[in-house]
Structure 1
Amino acid sequence: MSSHHDHQKGLLITAIGGLTLTVDIPLIRLADGGAWSIMLLRTGTTFVAAMIIWSVWRALSRNAPQLIPGWPGLVVAICYGLTGVTFVTAVYHTSTADLVFILAFNTVFAALLSWIFLKEKPQLVTIVAMLIMIFGVLVIVGGSVGTGHLFGDFMALCSAFFVAVAITISRASGKDMGFTALVGVLLPLVLAAFMVTGEGFHVNAPWWIIFNGAVIMPISFFCLANGPKYISGPEVAMFYLLETVLAPVWVWMIFAETPTRNSLIGGVILIVTLIAHSLWQLREGRKRRADLAVHHPV
């Protein structure tokens, strides 16, 4: 199989994952229920779907990945579980635009954690991009002061941090964490089940969230997790940006939720910075590959 074919396959898989993920927040909003009830139904269906997929995979092949590969896998699962809690909480306490724009900040957290713990010192261009993105997030958060969205923005920031921790540990361990994120939903599932027993179950349109958990989440996680096998990190990051750009558009079309001026300004700063930095990384990667081809011809 040619390298060109692999690259095209990776672009297609990752594009499917990125596009699928853009409807996650709209489906949560369409289900119209209490936060804990939505979390219970979303994580429950995601976990059941993941176990069915993994069981079939294991029955057909002995090469099925471990659900939780050792202690690193356990920590990664906990991080994704905490992300599930903070993400759904943020959906109910801030605007969709603020949430997805702040989630894009996970790239800064990931770079900082890699710098501190993996001794991967970022280049000057990356440091500049990080500083610009910090400014963008401050613009968004500053616009939430006095609007009641500050707590939701903080939850979104926590989600971005937990995802970055999970990515850093996954890279450091070198282990296959394909199903670990899906198993991690057990934490919010148990927490949501406990909370629902006290306040009662309330979801007006459960079919939306069942579809989200059983179909949308497994497809998006599987595709985005497999993309890096065929294409570079910066290219994968570009497809993650689809949610940042499109989720607020879907919510605006369905619920007529218009982003605030600060949210739009901060979001544009984040998106433009991420795209510019990803394009720079792609260019540098191509230059390195070209240099290697010249110095080490096959």
Structure 2
Amino acid sequence: MSLPSLSGHRKGLALTAIGGLALSMDIPLVRLAEGKMWPILGLRSITTVLVTLLIVAAIRVLKGKWPILIPGRHGIAAGLLYGLSTLTFLLSVFNTATANVVFIVAFNPMFGALLSWIFLKERPPVSTLVAMAAMIVGVGLIVHDGISSGHIFGDAMALLSALILGAAITVGRASRRDMGFVPLLAAMFPAILGFAMALPAGVSIDHPGWIIFNGAIVMPVAFWCLATGPRYLSAPEVGMFYLLETVLAPIWVWFIFAEVPTAMTLMGGAILIIVIMTHSLWMARGGGVRQRR
């Protein structure tokens, strides 16, 4: 398995940084919509699918050929994982505090590193292993706080979402193929589930414009960039850029909704943020490329 060039590595860093920044707006937009989970899941997901189909059609007209949408069995597996992660993520958003969600989902690089080590034989560099050990401490503090505050189900869903995302990134890394459209089209699964659960009681969202904006613009940009990243970066590195949401989402929610995290959550989050910044700067300087073997 050939290693990516330094220029390719930097391209991957740029793509995943853009994706992580866009992803940080997801929870605030979901909260601004002020609706129940199932209709929000359905509308957010179906909007993403429809926009993706328009983009695919535009590419067909401009280039004269269809882009690769689902690259073989790896694409199918990754699509199922991305679709499931959408469900578990929104379950966590509606059942625990925003800071708990994003800080726990930040654990996904740990799962990505372990899965890549087990299945792809990609041993993480020492810097990543040290970062993961510190992250265990931070996530442990947040989960302990969630248990004492009665948010155990939401915290568990966030942790499951982290595992599923780590698996999806690892599958994309294993395929070495373009997975940009996979998570976008995979939104069809949560769309069907969301509307199936919501329609008996009626679809009611107070401010649907926020969800439409989220599904039409924010999610396509975020998922395409983050799904393309594994072509150039290892799974743990891509997972790190999901952590931009960890840093920024609580800040957006704090500003908009005045939702202040608990002291224990802030302590665990502070550990994660310091680790993220240190590790990301090290990777940006090429440390990860030199150490990978």
Residue 150 (str. 1) matches residue 152 (str. 2): yes
For residue 169 of structure 1, give the secondary structure of its aligned residue in structure 2: helix
**1:284 match:** 287
**More displaced 10-residue stretch of structure 1: 163-172 or 271-280:** 271-280
Map of 1:25 onto structure 2: 27
1:221 positional shift: 2.4
Aligned match for 1:72, one of 43, 66, 74: 74
Mean CA deviation greater in 20-29 or 270-279: 270-279
Give me the whole-angstrom Cα distance separating, in 2, the residues matched to 1:54 and 1:75.
Answer: 21
Structure 2 residue aligned with 1:184: 186
Q: Which runs of 5+ in 1 are unaligned?
A: 290-298
Classify 1:6/1:145 alpha carbon distance in 2 versus 1 (closer, same or farther; 3 Å). closer
- Of 110, 114, 117, the match for 2:116: 114
How is 1:1-298 mapped onto 2 (pairs within 5 angstroms)?
Answer: 14-62=16-64, 64-226=66-228, 239-281=241-283, 282-285=285-288
Tell me which amino acid in the other structure corresponds to 2:139. Answer: V
Amino acid at match of 1:265: M
Q: Which amino acid aligns with 1:178?
A: G
Contact 1:143 1:263 (8 Å CA) reproduced: yes
1:129–1:11: structure 2 CA closer, same or farther, 3 Å change rule? closer
Q: How far 1:82 sits from its partner (Å)?
A: 0.3
- 1:229 deviates by 6.6
Against the structure 1 CA distance between its residues 133 and 6, is the aligned structure 2 distance closer, same or farther, given a 3 Å change threshold? closer
2:31 corresponds to which letter in structure 1?
Answer: R
Alpha-carbon distance, 1:238 to partner = 6.0
Q: What is the TM-score when the length of structure 1 is the normalising length?
A: 0.86
Q: Any idea what the Cα deviations from partners look like across 1:152-199, whole Å, max 9, x if unmatched?
A: 111111111111111111111112111000011111111112111233
Using the size of structure 2 for normalisation, the TM-score is 0.87
RMSD over aligned Cα, in angstroms?
2.7
Asked if the contact 1:17/1:219 (under 8 Å) is kept, the reply is yes
**Structure of higher CA gyration radius:** 1
Return 74-83 or 58-67, whichever deviates more: 58-67
| Structure 2 residue runs without a partner (length 5+) | none
**Alpha-carbon contact 1:65-1:176 (below 8 Å) kept:** no
* CA–CA separation in structure 1 for the residues paired with 2:108 and 2:48: 23
* Offset from partner CA, 1:45-74 (integer Å, 9 cap, x none): 011011111111122125653221111111
Amino acid at match of 1:118: L
Contact 2:173 2:234 in 1 (8 A): no
Identity of aligned residues (%): 52
2: CA distance, partners of 1:28 / 1:76: 24
* Counterparts in 2 of 1:79 and 1:9: CA distance versus 1, 3 Å: closer
Contact 2:36/2:205 (8 A) holds in 1: yes
